[in-house]
Structures are given as structure tokens and as C-alpha cells.
Structure 1
Amino acid sequence: MRQRPFVLSSDPLAPFPPADSAMQEPDGLLAIGGDLSLPRLLNAYRHGIFPWFSPGQPPLWWSPDPRMVFATDGVRLSSRFRRGLRHSPWEVRADTAFEQVITACAKAPRPGQHGTWITSGMRQAYIDLHRHGHAHSVEVFEGDALVGGIYGVAIGRMFFGESMFSGRSGGSKVALAALAARLHGWGWPLIDAQVENDHLVSLGAVRMPRHRFLAEVAGLVDLPAPAGPWTLRFGRMPAAELAQASVP
């Protein structure tokens, strides 16, 4: 394990050090510096690495051990929550409001956090990824009102979740469950959830040793998947569909 993070060069095509050489304290810190250019971000995700840093800091790159993941057939909604969805007017769509979702995620209050790690530069970097077909949002609407959403990065058949928000109670849960249901139907087995918290665990996230996570990612990112926006492929999913115990 490294005693200090690797310093990245200014070349956006320069390789990262092996993800399993990340520091133990703080857990998973691998590298520092570089930029949030499209080629560097895609290279990072392909190797199980993600950026996470506060305003005023240089980019920090992470690969924690263990990694939190959802099996796409393993997202849990409580029976009470599912019963409440049976007559829900909400509808779930994809890639129709990416900028709204990432902006709402940046503004959402987080327990124990002051401010947001989704800086203006981070926000623009993921908007660029979205415009190039690599980042996607799943959105929950009630009529024209956005009530929840999630966004992340897709490479091959691997989805790397970044952040989610609720504009109304349960909005993020519906977005996550709908995303998982669609990905499971497409043959995508995993959603990366990055680091552990109680909320993710309550929804079914589990720990995966980093060596296993990296092996899974290495295989999944090379599998073929249609490029471009998900809007038509995802379709429009009534949230009431998620009331079924077998979904996803």
C-alpha cells in the first residue's frame, strides 16, 4: 500500500497507478492532481477509480477497499414503501433532465457534510460525459415536476453510480430501483455505490473486496453495449411497477 498518493502528470492520457495500490489511510486515496478531462475520467472509471474532493482541493482519486455495490437484482424497497407506490402518479425516465439531476444532487443536504463535492468544475465535467454518451441520469417525475433522480457513468455493461437526490420523500429510492430494474433486464449485474453509508446498506448495498470489484469491472467494461442516450431504450416506467416484490 502507498504511504502517500501518486501525483498525476498533466497529460490526460497518462495512466493511473494500479488501483489496488491505494492508501489504507485515508481508505482508498490513490492519486492527486490531473484534471477532469473526458479521457482521464473514462480511464479512471475503467480501472475502478473515481474523483472525489472538496472545493479548493486539487482532484483526488479513490479506490476504496471494500467497495460498496448493488446487485441489480438486489435493491431492496420495504413492503410499506412498495405498498405506497401502488397508486403512485410518478413516472421514471432516463436522460431527459441530466443537468437538472446533477444540479439537484449538488444542492441536496448531506448528513455530516458542509457544502458539496459537486463543484462547478465537477458538474461541467459530467455534463460533458453525458453529452458524449457516457454519463446518464434516471429521473422521477410527477407530471412536469422532477421529484428524484440518480446519475452516474456507464462503460460497457458497468454502471458507476455518482449521486442521487430526493425532491420528495422516496424519490431517490424510486430512481435507484428503476435503474436497477432496467439494468438487470439488460444483463448488467452491478451498480457501483463507492463508499458505505447506512442509507445505501438499507437499500441493499453490500461490501465487495476491492480485488474482486476490480476483476468484475475489468470484465464488464469490455462487454458491448449500445452507445448514446438511454431515453428511448429505457422508456417510461410507471413507479407503480416497482410495487411488485419481484422488481427488479
Structure 2
Amino acid sequence: MTASPETPATASPDAGYAPTEHTTPTRYRDRTFYDRALVHSILDEAYVCHLGFVRDGRPVVLPTLYARVGERLYLHGSTGARAQRMAGEKDPGLPVCVTVTHIDGLVLARSSFHHSVNYRSVVIHGTAVQLDDPDEKQAALDSFVDHVVPGRAADSRRANAKELAATSVLALDLEEVSARVRAGGPDDDPEDLHLPHWTGLIPLTKGYGAPVPADTLAPGIEIPDYLRDL
């Protein structure tokens, strides 16, 4: 489903996130938005983000699970992961760039140059810190589970001490944030409108299949309502 952005890139900080040098684009400024509701909706709909940072002088980009709780993003990892170790070693933390992208449609133009995709994306700049507070860490792990399937955390065993010790969580506050959206059909050049090539939009949609029970599921355990709601 393609979002219909209504907040211009010149929105005031009171209406959303304040633009910074890191979140102000040099091209297609009309596709850039700072509206909090739009940013939150894009983040909440995806499951995987890409975490970028610099390691030994070289850029590294890793896919990882995440969850948003208010104005904070939690990033999941193991205690042995390089990003988690670096965030714990550095003061005040690890400078990162986090991105999330949805592809909503394939845009087919008459010319190859104007082919495109409709998308919604969020880019977050900031400093990720390792969570030390055990209560916030446990709550963050619950949020990962509920982010994937709302209601699942209450219907599963919480992490025990051994699992908590093996898991690392990075926290990144949503401060330097921007969203970019491209919606609509192809934008052909006027001189190409007579060309005999099919042009238009191929929408992409996300769907869920029927739940498949595990072979070890005990008899009599029915599919819970929160899974039926998917």
C-alpha cells in the first residue's frame, strides 16, 4: 500500500523531526518528509533494517532485526557481533546510519531512463549505545517479538538469564530522521508519449499465508486469535 504523504520537506520541527545537514537531500527534496507519523508507519511495517557503521576504516552494512518503542529504535544482535562490541567500547557509543525501505510498485515507463519504483524509506543518523539496564533490555526483547507478530510476546516464554547474557541490544534515539516517498505512475518525456510501448504501474503487495503448525505442537493447541488477525 502506497502512503500518501501530506507533509512537505519544509515542515517545522514542531510538526515532525527537525531537518539537519545529514537528513537534508541534495536531490528530489519534494520526496523528503519529516512527519513523525509517516516515519513511524514506515518503521513499524518492516521487519529488517540495514545498519551501517565504519569498522577499521571501512564501511559495513548489516541486515538486522529491530523494533521501535516510542522515539527509540532497538537493534537486535549477539554479544559477539562487531557492532554490538564497538557500541559498548566507544564513548558515548557507535555512530551509525540505519535504513528501512518498502518497495510498493514497479514503474514501467516508455523509456528505460524513466523506469522507477514506488517506495517508502526512512534513514536514521545517530549514535547507538549498548543497553545495560536489564529491565529495559528485557522489554526491548519483548518488543522485537511483538514487532514481528503483535501479541506474541505474551504467548511465549521470556528470555532467561542465559539467553539475556548471550543477546545484545543497541538503542538508537530517533532524532536525525527523514523519510522519502515516491508514489504515482511513470513520468515519460512528452516526446516519448507516442511510442508504442506499454507503460504503467505494477503494484507490489505483502501478504501472509496460513499458519503452519510445528511437528512438535501438542494436540489441542489452537491457532491464537492474534495469528488469525494477520
TM-score (norm 2): 0.25
Q: Which has the larger radius of gyration?
A: 2
Bigger fraction of residues in helix: 1
TM-score (norm 1): 0.24
